[in-house]
């Protein structure tokens, strides 16, 4: 029976985080009794932390890591990974655009892999976000060799030993590329599986700001150069 740490980065997800936590608990409890759900409140300006604290009173498996200021998506994931204590680490979004129960499709693939990453068959995002994603996936696979169809899909499961050997430094969108490219370079095995993606019902998406996108592409080129020097 595996032990699993679930990492949920959250930024201003007061309206979503309670459902996200409860769905995550239910999903992993179907496979193990040894689990934890770590919510990383990345400097939210709403009641995200208070909602999680209320859940913790009833469910000690839930933990809260809070950033006083926003550190970005990559920074939130890194804090969650640092806090994780279990054998396997699974992360997904706290906006309820994924179904955590689909972890059941990822777990069996770890028999022949070290990382299992989802890919969205029917991505429920705006045209602009899908355009950015197409350009990003094409660029990453061109620079590093094929890593996956959906590099930034927030639905990944991997063994703790990957974190022990792959350095992660990004505070932003590069975090998934660092994980996959770094793992592939060190000989770790990567598998893919299709997952469902749902429209966001509550709250506001972040990450499609042109400035954020341009910084991500700049960081991508720099990381490719740095990886070549190691």
In the chain, how many domains are there?
1
pLDDT, residue 219, reads 80
Mean pLDDT of all residues belonging to the chain: 91
Q: Which stretch of 13-17, 96-100, 212-216, 217-221 has the lowest confidence by average pLDDT? A: 212-216
What span, in angstroms and rounded, lies between the C-alpha atoms of 181 and 175? Answer: 10
pLDDT, residue 147, reads 94
pLDDT, residue 134, reads 87
* CATH code for position 134: 3.90.550.10
Is the pLDDT confidence value at 208 over 90?
no
Query: Tens digits of per-residue pLDDT, 176-190?
Result: 999 999 999 999 999
What span, in angstroms and rounded, lies between the C-alpha atoms of 38 and 35? Answer: 10
Torsion of CA 157, 3, 49, 69, to 10 degrees: -50
Burial of 75 (0-12, 13-18, 19+ CB in 10 A): buried
More confident residue, 159 or 214: 159
pTM for the structure as a whole: 0.91
What span, in angstroms and rounded, lies between the C-alpha atoms of 180 and 10? Answer: 22
pLDDT, residue 132, reads 83
pLDDT band with cut points at 50, 70 and 90 for residue 94:
very high
Is the pLDDT confidence value at 207 over 60?
no
Residue ranges making up the domain that contains 185: 4-229
């Amino acid at each position: 029976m595996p032990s699993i740490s679930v990492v949920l980065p959250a930024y201003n997800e007061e309206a979503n985080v309670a459902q996200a936590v409860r769905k995550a608990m239910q999903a992993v409890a179907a496979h193990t009794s040894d689990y934890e759900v770590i919510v990383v409140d990345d400097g939210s300006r709403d009641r995200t932390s208070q909602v999680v604290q209320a859940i913790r009173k009833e469910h000690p498996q839930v933990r809260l890591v809070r950033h006083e200021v926003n550190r970005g998506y990559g920074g939130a994931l890194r804090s969650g990974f640092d806090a994780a204590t279990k054998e396997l680490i699974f992360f997904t979004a706290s906006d309820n655009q994924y179904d955590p129960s689909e972890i059941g499709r990822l777990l069996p693939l770890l028999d022949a892999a070290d990382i299992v990453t989802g890919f969205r068959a029917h991505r429920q995002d705006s045209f602009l976000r899908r355009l950015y994603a197409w350009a990003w996936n094409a660029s990453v696979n061109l620079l590093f060799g094929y890593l996956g169809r959906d590099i930034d899909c927030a639905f990944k499961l991997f063994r703790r030993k990957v974190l022990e050997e792959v350095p992660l430094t990004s505070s932003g969108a590069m975090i998934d590329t660092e994980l996959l490219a770094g793992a592939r370079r060190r000989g770790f095995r990567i598998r893919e599986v299709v997952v469902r993606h749902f429209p966001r019902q509550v709250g506001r998406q972040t990450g499609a700001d042109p400035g954020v996108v341009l910084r991500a592409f700049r960081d991508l080129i720099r990381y490719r150069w740095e990886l070549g020097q190691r």
